[in-house]
Amino acid sequence: MTYNAPMTRKRFDQMDCSVACALNEVGDWWSLLVVKQAMLGTRRYVDFQNRLGIAKNILCDRLSRLVENGVMVRVDVGEHGKRYEYRLTDKGRDLFTVITALRQWSERWNGEKDSMKLVDRQTGAPLAPVTVQNQQGHSLTVRDVRFVDDNGNPLEETG
């Protein structure tokens, strides 16, 4: 073998799979943690760094990519520039479902790792478990769904 293909990280842009596409944007070790931290109210670069214990160059890279992908925005809050806040966009806030599902999954199977609880702001009651539901609101497992193509034909995924 004489030719080596360019060694780029395998990216999921072109995998024509929505899950892969999502992972391409927030599927690395840190991105979802940054988003989670932002949901707790963190906005400043140094605060992300201190709370998460992430290296500064990695944080820099992740914030840039989150901004690029429209998950966060960098807002100039300095009087004469050079003071910034990183805030979630609607797209970023919409990851609340994903992060909550992940958190609950971990709590169910690995036990609670922190003392943080999420409660309904109105009532103070704990949240319901996040589930996949049909349009009548009944929870479905993976066995209760079918994967079909555009024509409604079941995908033959024997392999």
Partner DNA sequence: CATAACGGTTGCAAAACGAAACCAAATAAG
Partner DNA sequence: CTTATTTGGTTTCGTTTTGCAACCGTTATG
Neighbour count for residue 96 (Cβ, 10 Å): 15
Query: Stretches 59-67, 74-82, 98-106: which one binds a copy of itself (CB under 8 A)?
Result: 98-106
Q: How far apart are alpha carbons 35 and 109 in whole angstroms?
A: 23
HSE toward the beta carbon, residue 86, CA cutoff 13 A: 27
Q: Which of 86, 70, 73 is nearest to 22 (CA)?
A: 70
DSSP assigned state of 5: -
Q: How far is the CB of 3 from a copy of itself (least distance, A)?
A: 17
* Bridge partners (DSSP) listed for residue 85: 75
Measured in whole angstroms, the distance separating CA 42 from the mean position of its chain's CA atoms is 16
By CB under 7 A, residue 83 contacts DNA: yes
Q: How far is the CB of 69 from DNA (least distance, A)?
A: 15
Query: Stretches 4-12, 92-100, 116-124, 144-152: which one binds DNA (CB under 7 A)?
Result: 4-12
By CB under 7 A, residue 122 contacts DNA: no
The option from DNA, a copy of itself, none interacting with 60 (CB < 5 to 8 A, set by class) reads DNA
Query: Stretches 59-67, 74-82, 144-152: which one binds a copy of itself (CB under 8 A)?
Result: 144-152
Residues that bind DNA (CB under 7 A): 1, 4-10, 28-30, 44-46, 53-58, 60-61, 63, 74, 78-85
